[in-house]
Amino acid sequence: MSSLEHEVLAAVLQVRSRSLQVLLWQRARDPHAGRWSLPGGKLRHDEDVETSVRRQLAEKVDVRQLSHVEQLAVFSAPDRVPGPRVIATAFLGLVPSDNDPEVPADTRWFCVDALPPTAFDHGAIVLRARDRLRSKLSYTNLGFALAPPTFTISELRDIYSAALGYRVSATNLQRVLSRRGQLEPTGETAVSGPSGGRPAALFRFTCRDMQVTDAFAVLRPPSLRK
């Protein structure tokens, strides 16, 4: 009987510098030495897959500030890696935009839409994670996992625009999320910038656990709206 291994991988996404980015580390050994890969590793016999992925993110790339983790998919193509067959359970992890995790020297953030050469099927897993995030932003309150605890509507607009891959109207975003009961004002205002002007109101998400808020809603690019 051929050997079978099980690994867990994490596509950790964050909005950084107004773009959706993923955390990758550079492989030091063959196969695919020098290529960039998702953090993760072998599943231990005494842990479930989510416990394993959280442990490995903390141990290998020192990421502990995850605001949301969910299982993405199982990747089981017989030839996905050379040698003995390896099945991968991949996770989507999100980090709020106001966090800046300290990562090892061999680990970097990359724009999801401009990935470097990746190992094995990891590039496809990143794109699957991006598409899952974009889909869930349409019908859940998952924006809370990308946003800081409080924010202006303009700041939230920039986060959604980066995650969705197209420019979002701040007015429409506030209207939609408020109508779904996702946003509430804090009663405070942001610090005025150097140009002065009226301070912008600060908002927060009403719930910081994922909930389906509109099962039939879709946030689509303007070109696809009717």
Q: Tell me the pLDDT tens digit for each residue of 154-185.
A: 999 999 999 999 999 999 999 999 999 999 99
CATH 1.10.533.10 applies to domain 138-224: no
- Give the C-alpha separation, 29 to 142, whole Å: 36
pLDDT at 65: 82
Residue 163 has phi, psi (to 5 degrees) of -70, -40
Helix axes 153-164, 122-139, angle to 10 degrees: 140
Q: Tell me: pLDDT of 139 over 70.
A: yes
Of the pLDDT bands very low, low, confident and very high (cuts 50, 70, 90), residue 191 is confident
Residues 87, 6: contact at Cβ < 8 Å? yes
Mean pLDDT of the 6-13 span:
97
Q: Tell me: pLDDT of 49 over 50.
A: yes
Q: Tell me: pLDDT of 221 over 60.
A: no
How many degrees, rounded to 5, is the angle at CA 61 between CA 57 and CA 66?
A: 50
Q: Tell me: pLDDT of 219 over 70.
A: no
Domain ranges of the chain: 4-137, 138-224
Mean pLDDT of the 127-153 span:
96
Mean pLDDT value across the chain? 91
pLDDT at 217: 65
Q: Tell me: pLDDT of 82 over 70.
A: yes
Query: Residue 146 burial by CB count (10 A; 0-12/13-18/19+): exposed, middle or buried?
Result: buried
**Superfamily in which the 4-137 domain is placed by CATH:** Nucleoside Triphosphate Pyrophosphohydrolase (3.90.79.10)
Tokens 């724009």, located at residue: 111
pLDDT at 216: 66
- Give the C-alpha separation, 11 to 39, whole Å: 8
Of the pLDDT bands very low, low, confident and very high (cuts 50, 70, 90), residue 224 is very low
Q: What is the pLDDT of residues 111-122, one digit of tens each?
A: 999 999 999 999
pLDDT at 225: 47
pLDDT at 204: 98
